[in-house]
């Protein structure tokens, strides 16, 4: 059962990754990459190799997946990916269990919330509309607006908008890129183990915790508030 929290913890601002943290979209991302690589006749990658690039901006992800790829092939790969993903996302993407209920609890407790994602602005706006979650997030930054993760600019831009200090910010994500971005920005992080990468791997990047369910976040924050008092 999700525990209600009655007061804000030491983290005033919660910044969430999207794919693999809030949205259970990893399967669709893998299929979209496979479609795109098949169209270009590129060597097939394993599911985990594809999951390991989730969180990066799309062009950066394709370069990481296929080192040395030409700019024209990278752009064609990205375009094919976008076309396949856009055609399927409304009907296939679901939220992880208890996401909306948990966001309601966090909002009621006084937390400000934002999104920092490797998605494009167009992709995130569509996802927020399709899932009905836009009311919970006061601001967001996307990979086509800033440097790609793990560069800290997304978090720096968000902190500037909210006018908060680094020690009052928590980044929540499912990949090394989220955790490294937090470290590069000088903010704390919390990992989730149900997304792109497992807890053993994520703990190498020194998050404060690794949660096994999205709905565990309020209780953990409540415990942090008690320890901070």
Total number of domains constituting the chain: 2
Domain boundary among 71, 92, 113: 92
Asked whether the predicted pLDDT for residue 168 surpasses 80, the reply is yes
Residues in CB range of 178: below 8 A, 6 or more apart: 17, 21, 55, 116, 149, 150, 171, 172, 189, 191
Q: Which of 126, 146, 45 has its CA nearest to residue 86?
A: 126
Domain boundary among 61, 76, 92: 92
Domain co-membership, 140 together with 220: yes
Residue 8: inside a domain, yes or no? no
Give the C-alpha separation, 161 to 164, whole Å: 8
Give the tokens for residue 68. Answer: 């040395």
Q: Is 174 exposed, middle or buried (0-12, 13-18, 19+ CB in 10 A)?
A: buried
Give the C-alpha separation, 169 to 184, whole Å: 13
Residue 112: inside a domain, yes or no? yes
76-101: pLDDT as tens digits:
888 888 888 777 665 667 899 999 99
Q: To the nearest 10°, report the CA torsion of 191, 193, 197, 199.
A: 80
Domain co-membership, 54 together with 145: no
Which run of H or E residues covers position 60?
helix 58-65
Domain boundary among 46, 65, 92: 92
104-152: pLDDT as tens digits:
999 999 999 999 998 889 889 988 988 899 999 999 999 889 998 999 9
Asked whether the predicted pLDDT for residue 155 surpasses 90, the reply is yes
Domain co-membership, 37 together with 111: no
Domain co-membership, 139 together with 48: no
Q: Identify the CATH number of the domain in which residue 39 sits.
A: 1.10.150.240
CA atoms within 13 A on the CB side of 147: 12
Residue 107: inside a domain, yes or no? yes
Domain co-membership, 100 together with 213: yes
Domain co-membership, 115 together with 209: yes
Domain co-membership, 61 together with 103: no
50-65: pLDDT as tens digits:
888 887 788 888 888 8
Asked whether the predicted pLDDT for residue 7 surpasses 60, the reply is no
Give the tokens for residue 12. Answer: 């005033």
Q: Identify the CATH number of the domain in which residue 190 sits.
A: 3.40.50.1000
Taken as a whole, the chain contains a residue count of 229
State which residues form the domain around 69: 26-92
Domain co-membership, 18 together with 77: no
């Amino acid at each position: 059962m999700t525990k209600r929290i009655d007061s804000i913890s030491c983290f005033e601002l919660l910044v969430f990754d999207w794919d693999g943290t809030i949205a259970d979209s990893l399967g669709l991302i893998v299929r979209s990459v496979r479609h795109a690589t098949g169209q270009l006749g590129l060597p097939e990658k394993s599911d985990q190799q594809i999951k390991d690039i989730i969180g990066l901006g799309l062009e950066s992800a394709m370069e990481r997946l296929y080192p040395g790829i030409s700019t024209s092939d990278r752009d064609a790969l990205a375009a094919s990916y976008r076309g396949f993903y856009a055609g399927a996302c409304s009907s296939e993407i679901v939220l992880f269990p208890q996401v909306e209920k948990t966001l309601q609890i966090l909002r009621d407790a006084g937390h400000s919330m934002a999104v920092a994602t490797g998605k494009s602005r167009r992709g995130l706006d569509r996802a927020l509309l399709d899932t009905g979650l836009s009311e919970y997030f006061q601001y967001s930054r996307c990979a086509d607006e800033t440097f790609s993760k793990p560069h800290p600019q997304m978090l720096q831009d968000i902190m500037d908008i909210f006018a908060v200090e680094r020690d009052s910010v928590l980044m929540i994500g499912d990949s090394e890129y989220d955790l490294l971005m937090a470290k590069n920005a000088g903010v704390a992080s919390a990992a989730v183990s149900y997304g792109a990468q497992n807890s053993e791997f994520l703990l190498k990047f020194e998050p404060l915790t690794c949660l096994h369910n999205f709905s565990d976040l309020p209780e953990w924050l409540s415990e942090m508030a008690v320890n901070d008092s």
